[in-house]
């Protein structure tokens, strides 16, 4: 698990190789990832959007951006957490992802970006 904190918003990531959904003979590898966002600030915040950079082992880069996460724009009061699971597909069995979420601080209607820490996507057989 990796974790980053930006303006007292903690973001941690766990990854899982989805062997049953992957098809190595077709260069199709599926990973899921679980994101936990914790508001450790004194302010209520709302997640507005996401920005991802996804790299596979041949350094092919994809950018993914849009409103919210998994169809939601959660509002987090101080001390609250939000967790979701999503997935990505790669053409190689290894890769990495990084990015940021844009939040709105409701008290003063200001926006800021919270870093999603870079994490690797590796199947168990490549971790040795």
Ordered structural domains, the chain, with CATH:
2-118 (2.60.40.1470)
Handedness of CA 15, 19, 23, 24 (dihedral sign): positive
pLDDT in the model for residue 128: 62
pLDDT at 98 over 90: yes
> What is the pTM (predicted TM-score) of this model?
0.93
Q: What is the pLDDT of residues 55-92, one digit of tens each?
A: 999 989 999 999 999 999 999 999 999 999 999 999 99
Closest CA relative to residue 101, chosen from 122, 84, 120, 88: 84
The stretch 25-31 carries a mean pLDDT of: 96
What mean pLDDT is predicted for residues 35-43?
A: 98
Average of per-residue pLDDT across 18-39: 97
Q: What integer is the mean pLDDT of 44-63?
A: 96
Q: What is the pLDDT of residue 126?
A: 76
- With a pLDDT cut of 90, the percent of the chain lying above it is 94
Query: What is the rounded distance in angstroms from the CA atom of residue 69 to the CA atom of residue 72?
Result: 5
């Amino acid at each position: 698990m990796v974790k980053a904190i930006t303006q007292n918003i903690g973001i941690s990531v766990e990854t899982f190789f989805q062997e049953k959904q992957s098809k190595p003979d077709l260069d199709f590898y599926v990973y899921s990832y679980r994101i936990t966002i914790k508001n450790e600030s004194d302010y209520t915040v709302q997640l507005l959007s996401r920005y991802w950079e996804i790299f596979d082992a041949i350094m092919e880069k994809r950018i993914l951006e849009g409103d919210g996460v998994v169809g939601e724009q959660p509002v987090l009061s101080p001390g609250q957490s939000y967790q979701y699971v999503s997935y990505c597909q790669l053409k190689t069995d290894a890769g990495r992802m990084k990015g940021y979420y844009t939040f709105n601080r409701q008290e003063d209607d200001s926006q800021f970006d919270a870093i999603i820490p870079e994490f690797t996507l590796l199947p168990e057989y490549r971790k040795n």
